Amino acid sequence: MSQERTLVIGILNVTPDSFADGGKHFDFESAIIRAKEMIAEGVDIIDVGGESTRPGAERVSEEEERVRVIPVITELIELGAVVSIDTMRASTAIAAIGAGATFVNDVSGGLADPDMAKVIAKNPLVQYIVMHWRGHSDQMQKSAIYSDVVSEVKDELDERITQLLKAGVAAEQIIIDPGIGFAKTAEHNWELLRNIDRLSLLGYPILVGASRKKFLGELLGANSPDDREAATIAITTAMAQLGVWGVRTHAVKAHRDAIEVAMELNK
Ligand code: PMM
């Protein structure tokens, strides 16, 4: 995939809380309709997740996660999409890779499942998104304590990378992510976004996932995630100007446009 511009990674959450009427068949149908819209809008990669990682979220079973995501991935591959699996489980990653996913997006950066690094090492054509993480969603906000958030996130990602390389993962497979909203207060998120260039010193492509997150609502007094879209686009523009590898977003077209604008501004 060329790196002339920042990539748009479209979020496709196949979770009951993202599709109001529930029911597995409905989830599948809704997911495919949404994916087709994203493809038509020029998405680069579709990130399929079957487990919510919102603050306070409880875990779903391994089987439930797989039942939610694998049929969707199979269909997306049929449609010609590039697919990422958003999972912390090695077993789900194996099944998703088997179904055609070429990216594994692990919000725990390999910390949640000790087998994940081996799976990535065994699949050298798969790229691995290593997010900064300090524990599962039901307890992570207790760990939002830093004396220098940028240095600590950078050092903790560096430690993850060291462990992954030791396990046989190739450097070319790794993409890093500061984990906006994961064990971070609003101010921590802003500090990380202001200093994203310091994370790029680690020498890996960077993904930023700020889309419609709570800290934007706190700034703007916008309780509804939909009301945070314009703010998310502003972040995409700034991140694209700084040359980040990708942005993980709910909307696609507006972010493709924002990236075009950023490229013009950078000329
Ligand atoms: N955020 C969420 C889920 N997965 N993956 C990466 N790499 N980075 C993120 O910031 C990230 C993620 C939670 O957001 P959602 O509930 O809107 O999907």
- HEC-encoded secondary structure of 139-162: CHHHHCCCCCHHHHHHHHHHHHHH
| Residue list, ligand 1 pocket, CB within 6 Å | 11, 13, 53-54, 86, 105, 107, 129, 131, 177, 179-180, 207, 209, 211, 248
Q: What is the pLDDT confidence band of residue 25, given thresholds at 50, 70 and 90?
A: low
Contact call for residues 74 and 155 (beta carbons, < 8 A): no
> Which protein residue has the closest C-alpha to ligand 1 atom 16?
54
What's the CATH number for 7-265? 3.20.20.20
Check if 24 is active-site. no
Q: Which of 54, 209, 60, 225 is nearest to 138 (CA)?
A: 54
> Which protein residue has the closest C-alpha to ligand 1 atom 8?
209
Q: Tell me, what DSSP letter sits at residue 89? A: -
Check if 213 is active-site. yes
**Confidence check: pLDDT of 26 > 70:** no
Contact call for residues 87 and 106 (beta carbons, < 8 A): yes
Digit-coded pLDDT (tens) for 163-204: 999 999 999 999 999 999 999 999 999 999 999 999 999 999
What is the distance between the alpha carbons of residues 247 and 259, in angstroms, rounded to a whole number? 10
Digit-coded pLDDT (tens) for 65-117: 999 999 999 999 999 999 999 999 999 999 999 999 999 999 999 999 999 99
Say how many Å lie between the CA of residue 222 and the centre of ligand 1: 19
Say how many Å lie between the CA of residue 24 and the centre of ligand 1: 22
What is the distance between the alpha carbons of residues 190 and 155, in angstroms, rounded to a whole number? 18
**Confidence check: pLDDT of 20 > 60:** no
Quick one: how many helices (H) and strands (E) in the chain? 10, 8
Specify the pTM: 0.95
